[in-house]
Amino acid sequence: MGEVFCFIGERFADLQMLRYQVPCFENLNLRQKKLLYYLGEAALWGRDILWDQNGAYNLRIRRLLESVFVYYPGDRECEEFRGFVTYLKRVWFSNGIHHHYSYDKLEPGFPSSFLHEALTQIPKEYLPLCEGESLDALEKTLFPVIFDPDVMPKRLNQKDGDDLVETSSCNYYGADVTQSEAEEFYARQKRMDGDTRRPVMYGLNSRLEKTEGTLVERVWRCGGMYGSALEHVVEMLEKALPHAENERQKEVIATLVDFYRTGDLETFDRYTIQWVKETEGDVDFVNGFTEVYGDPLGLKASWEGYVNILDNEASDRTRILSDHAQWFEDHSPVDARFRKDVCRGVTARVVEAAILGGDLYPSSAIGINLPNSNWVRAEHGSKSVTIGNLTHAYSQAARGNGFRQEFVVDGETLSMLDRYGEVCDNLHTDLHECLGHGSGRLLPGVDADAMKAYGNTIEEARADLFGLYYMADLKMVELGLLPCMEAYKAHYYSYMMNGLLTQMVRIAPGHVIEEAHMRNRALIAYWTLDHYPRAVRMARKEEKTYVEVLDYEMLRTAFATLLREVQRIKSEGDYEAARLLVEEYGIRIDASLHQEIRDRYQRLDLAPYKGFINPRYTVERDSDGEISDVHIEYGESYTEQMLRYSREYDTKL
């Protein structure tokens, strides 16, 4: 008997650490394992870049805190030290001093006097002092950043009307650069390039600063800003190169190296095009300046890296859906005028993450669709992946945590969810991504942006409803995607429970629903509750509110009816109908129900945010120094891993 793998790591503050398994690693041959190993090293070497992007003092603060953690000679059980450790763990998790999700500055949870006392007891050589700097000067610089809530309060400020560049403390712009200056700078770059149909990603890989009153970009490249980290990334990419699985993959890696050396954004576009076209290899990766959510102007990309392995078996699922895309389009309940004559599904690959780095670590996305350049996507398409081993880790961790026991109406429904919940979740995601978004068409002359601010919610509702409708189709069982005609009921129940009740736990009291996916789920659930009282209702048991599904087949009719309407709205560009639907069902929350759900959730004491501990890869070498085997280990703790990364991937930035 093998050991039982433990998905659950430690819990602190509002965070739960998880572990993920990489079963597909064992299917790789030695050459592929070497490729994966070096790409993994390249993903880890970019860590410090992200820390610096998230805030100018983050790396020094990390070094300071780690020194105290390792060398503090005092009482390590006292309340202050424990508060300090929790703070350090949160800083590690956020890759900086601001919360990874809310972007608010983390509260230290211990007094500055404790840190001062601790620092005086630590040998000077272990402190991150600059040349000639005294401890006193170090504290003067870093203590306000750590302890004063008014200094750098928010990493990313998106409040309309503020100068977003000046009020965001991320490190993408020099301290004296204003929003209008930055906007004008990039508008001018675009004008100078003329009306090109293939614009580069302006500003993607640089910090914008002022030198003697003039705006200049400090480009992130070898020999430039972040050069010391990028040299290491490049070294590992070059070691990966000879083990590439095919010629195109070689080209991808070589062009990426070229981009890191030059910082040239046209080279970056060339690289992403080659990357999109490379679909033959089992091992794939993302490495570079990728997502722009962390920049208030949405131009500058945070560094991220990960490596994945194709899960062939699970990818059959998405391949089957794509191959039958036309059948699904032809049989959908929407008006024939709004259907596509020729429909091509998107093949989303299901992969296993092998290592997570940069902005994907420790908190990670579970689905990734790249590249982000609009014209590259339009002309060359995109690659979409679902990271199956991370979703599996989430669902394993959720087992027995008490959440379903608290909110599901009865034991029968509960065991149905335990049996079919995960297979249904995966399938619904695939239907949504591979078919839902790509289905349907606009009537001629209808503006794709006609829905304006309601566009995202309507589009997500359309994709979700398409998936919901087909989950209950006999075709799912015939294609081998669901085990039986009962399974879909598990998903219908959990979808309604989430939309009507449990997703509210993520909304603060007194607030409304803002995020498009959440609005869409509320819209579908509350519209259905309102229009189909014989299919679903709210039930009260022992002072608690539950969702009760009375008729699953009728629920499907409800979804079909709403899909028909939502597709009509989209196809005709009926803004007013979209507005009414979203405003009526998608936004508002009943205050007393909200309070009840939050109270029940709080009593479960679950961490709202989760992140992952990476596996560790070690190599054996033969007498020539060539790798003769690669091993994977899962035993490392969160703290061990963070300290090791700081030690082994220190880039002296």
Q: Which residues contact Zn ion by CB under 5 A?
A: 460, 463
Pairing of β 302-310 and β 348-358? antiparallel
The helix/strand/coil state of 408 is: coil
Query: Do 455 and 574 touch, CB atoms closer than 8 A?
Result: no
User: Which residues have CB under 8 Å from 612's CB, separation 6+?
Assistant: 17, 18, 19, 20, 353, 356, 361, 362, 363, 364, 390, 393
Question: Considering beta carbons, is residue 419 or 517 the nearer one to Zn ion?
Answer: 517
User: Which residues have CB under 8 Å from 525's CB, separation 6+?
Assistant: 495, 496, 498, 499, 500
Beta bridge partners, 105, equal 98
DSSP-derived secondary structure for 243-277: G-SSHHHHHHHHHHHHHHHH--HHHHHHHHHHHHH
- Compute the least distance from the CB of residue 407 to Zn ion, in Å: 24
- Compute the least distance from the CB of residue 65 to Zn ion, in Å: 39
- Compute the least distance from the CB of residue 481 to Zn ion, in Å: 19
Question: Considering beta carbons, is residue 393 or 463 the nearer one to Zn ion?
Answer: 463
Question: Considering beta carbons, is residue 295 or 460 the nearer one to Zn ion?
Answer: 460
Give the total residue count for the chain: 653
Q: Where are the beta strands (DSSP E) in 477-567?
A: 536-541, 544-549
Question: Considering beta carbons, is residue 59 or 435 the nearer one to Zn ion?
Answer: 435
Question: Considering beta carbons, is residue 141 or 384 the nearer one to Zn ion?
Answer: 384
In angstroms, the CA 298 to CA 94 distance is 20
Query: Do 576 and 494 touch, CB atoms closer than 8 A?
Result: no
Question: Considering beta carbons, is residue 88 or 431 the nearer one to Zn ion?
Answer: 431
- Compute the least distance from the CB of residue 490 to Zn ion, in Å: 21
Residue number of the CB atom closest to Zn ion: 463
The helix (H) or strand (E) run that includes residue 169 is none
Whether the upstream peptide bond of residue 533 has omega within 30° of 0, thus cis, is: no
- Compute the least distance from the CB of residue 216 to Zn ion, in Å: 39
Q: Which of 47, 33, 38 is closest to 362 using CA atoms? A: 47
Report which DSSP code applies to 608.
Answer: S
Question: Considering beta carbons, is residue 22 or 343 the nearer one to Zn ion?
Answer: 343
- Compute the least distance from the CB of residue 460 to Zn ion, in Å: 5
In angstroms, the CA 428 to CA 470 distance is 9
Question: Considering beta carbons, is residue 234 or 463 the nearer one to Zn ion?
Answer: 463
User: Which residues have CB under 8 Å from 283's CB, separation 6+?
Assistant: 28, 32, 35, 36, 39, 245, 307, 308, 309, 310, 354
Question: Considering beta carbons, is residue 387 or 463 the nearer one to Zn ion?
Answer: 463
Question: Considering beta carbons, is residue 353 or 435 the nearer one to Zn ion?
Answer: 435
Cα atoms in the 13 Å half-sphere on the side-chain side of 184: 7
- Compute the least distance from the CB of residue 456 to Zn ion, in Å: 9
